[in-house]
Amino acid sequence: MLRVEQVSFGYSKTHVLDNINFTVEQGENLAIIGESGSGKSTLLKLIYGEYDLEQGQIWWKDTEIKGPKYNLVIGYGFMKYVTQEFDLMPYTSVENNIGKYLSRFNLEKRQQRINELIDVVELKAFAKRKVKTLSGGQKQRVALARALAKEPDILLLDEPFSHIDNFKKQSLRRSVFNYLKKNAITCIVATHDKYDVLGFADTMLVLHDRTILATGSPQELYNNPKSGLVASFFDEFSIINDKIYYPHQLKITEVSDFKALVKDSYFNGKTWLIAVEYNSRTLLIEHTTKINSGTEVYFKIRP
Ligand SMILES: Nc1ncnc2c1ncn2[C@@H]1O[C@H](COP(=O)(O)OP(=O)(O)OP(=O)(O)O)[C@@H](O)[C@H]1O
């Protein structure tokens, strides 16, 4: 189990985290979300041992994670960290980047492991290519595979699929997260993308104002967001009588007590998002078709 206990930290000019406490079980997938600058990457770096804590302790099982003041070399063998920079060897092939830390004692076994990882990150066609010639998204996949190569106990991922195009993203996410679950690798993901979280995270942790604003499973936080900040991670929302409603929880109807004026319609793929004015506020309602601006409509809250 990873234990983060009463951790506080700031850079010289910015105080970033205040008394942070949480635990992560072996094999659990924890998603850290929060606005830009809320301290997600900083928290990952602290867990990795990149900085010295101002206060508190971080433990993985019986090992206390210590920063550079105590360790000549940053990091621990049981933990890998895929940053937003990747840090690959540009003039070396994809295969050899992935195999960088693998033993050369048994070359056949080494190659098997590389092939397995290449499958996980869906890079078969690029195995022999020099990393320098790859796109940003392809490099990100090489960095992921290399981090997995020696089966770490914990994997720290910072925006792991941010460079991957939408064509590949969904299947790649499933492949990587399923691999981690199957091998009971503890995973902590800092992300802005709800699709990295829904369907994969066991627990979410929302950072705000230097502390943990909310924590729970994706289902719990989605169904009961408690604040607009939490709801906004999942979807657009409206507030009626101090309650939060996602667009699909409101419905345009023939008649009701609520009359509104359509301001705009936005195509959403499966449906349209209708922005209406109600009591001098804008509400967002999911609807099957476009509605012309200026139309008067009635709406209701779905039961
Ligand atoms: N090396 C650093 N030196 C000084 N301040 C820093 C450093 N790195 C980050 N900060 C500051 O600490 C705060 C938290 O930054 P951090 O990168 O952890 O946020 P984040 O939630 O990961 O943001 P993003 O979602 O934009 O990646 C920000 O105010 C940032 O400007």
CATH number, domain of 20, equals: 3.40.50.300
Residue 44 lies in a domain: yes
d(CA 167, CA 24): 31
Question: Which atom of ligand 1 is nearest to 43's Cα?
Answer: 18
In angstroms and rounded to an integer, the radius of gyration of the C-alpha atoms of the chain is 23
Give the mutation target among 16, 83, 162 for probing the ligand 1 site: most ligand atoms within 8 A of CB.
Answer: 16
d(CA 135, CA 117): 19
d(CA 283, CA 20): 35
C-alpha 2 – ligand 1 centre gap (Å)? 23
Number of domain units in the chain: 2
Task: Name 151's Cβ contacts closer than 8 Å, sequence gap at least 6.
Answer: 183, 185
Q: Whose CA is nearest to atom 29 of ligand 1?
A: 37
Say if residue 224's pLDDT is above 90: yes
For residues 156 and 265, membership in a common domain is answered with: no
The conformation of residue 290, written as its DSSP 8-state character, comes to -
For residues 228-238, give the mean pLDDT.
Answer: 96
d(CA 156, CA 190): 8
Task: Name 53's Cβ contacts closer than 8 Å, sequence gap at least 6.
Answer: 7, 8, 9, 46, 67
Classified as helix, coil or strand, 123 is coil
User: What does the block give as tokens for 197?
Assistant: 């979280």
For residues 155 and 291, membership in a common domain is answered with: no
Cβ–ligand 1 distance for 225 under 6 Å, the answer no
C-alpha 259 – ligand 1 centre gap (Å)? 44
For residues 152 and 7, membership in a common domain is answered with: yes
Say if residue 166's pLDDT is above 90: no
Give the mutation target among 7, 18, 38, 48 for probing the ligand 1 site: most ligand atoms within 8 A of CB.
Answer: 38
Nearest to 32 by CA among 163, 202, 184, 176: 202
Domain ends where: 169, 184, 216?
Answer: 216
Whole-angstrom CA distances from 61 to 184, 186, 205 are: 15, 12, 21
Residue 190 lies in a domain: yes
C-alpha 282 – ligand 1 centre gap (Å)? 33
Q: Whose CA is nearest to atom 1 of ligand 1?
A: 11
d(CA 290, CA 199): 30
- Express each pLDDT in 176-218 by its tens digit: 999 999 999 999 999 999 999 999 999 999 999 999 999 999 9
The conformation of residue 130, written as its DSSP 8-state character, comes to B
CATH number, domain of 284, equals: 2.40.50.140
- Express each pLDDT in 118-140 by its tens digit: 999 999 999 999 999 999 889 99
Amino acid at 235: D
For residues 177 and 287, membership in a common domain is answered with: no
Classified as helix, coil or strand, 55 is strand
Give the residue numbers spanning the domain of 277: 235-301
For residues 60-72, give the mean pLDDT.
Answer: 94
What backbone phi and psi angles, to 5 degrees, belong to 301? -90, 130
Residue 230 lies in a domain: no
Say if residue 83's pLDDT is above 90: no
Nearest to 17 by CA among 160, 161, 213, 197: 213
CB-based contact 191:44 (threshold 8 Å): no
Check the CA dihedral 50-202-162-33 and report its sign.
negative
Work out the pLDDT band at 167, boundaries 50, 70, 90. Answer: confident
Residue 228 lies in a domain: no
Cβ–ligand 1 distance for 14 under 6 Å, the answer yes
Question: Which atom of ligand 1 is nearest to 207's Cα?
Answer: 21
pLDDT at 45: 97
Say if residue 13's pLDDT is above 90: no
Residue with tokens 């829904």: 198
For residues 99 and 240, membership in a common domain is answered with: no
For residues 79 and 196, membership in a common domain is answered with: yes
For residues 118 and 30, membership in a common domain is answered with: yes
Q: Whose CA is nearest to atom 3 of ligand 1?
A: 11
d(CA 177, CA 160): 11
Q: Whose CA is nearest to atom 10 of ligand 1?
A: 11
pTM, rounded to two decimals: 0.92
pLDDT at 87: 84
| ipTM here | 0.98
Residue 226 lies in a domain: no
Work out the pLDDT band at 16, boundaries 50, 70, 90. Answer: very high
Q: Whose CA is nearest to atom 2 of ligand 1?
A: 11
Nearest 5°: CA angle at 85, between 65 and 46?
A: 20
Check the CA dihedral 184-186-189-193 and report its sign.
positive
Work out the pLDDT band at 251, boundaries 50, 70, 90. Answer: very high
CB-based contact 144:168 (threshold 8 Å): no
Q: Whose CA is nearest to atom 16 of ligand 1?
A: 39
User: What does the block give as tokens for 102?
Assistant: 């693998």
C-alpha 37 – ligand 1 centre gap (Å)? 5
For β-strands 243-245 and 63-64, DSSP reports them as unpaired
What's the start-to-end Cα distance of the chain, in Å? 41
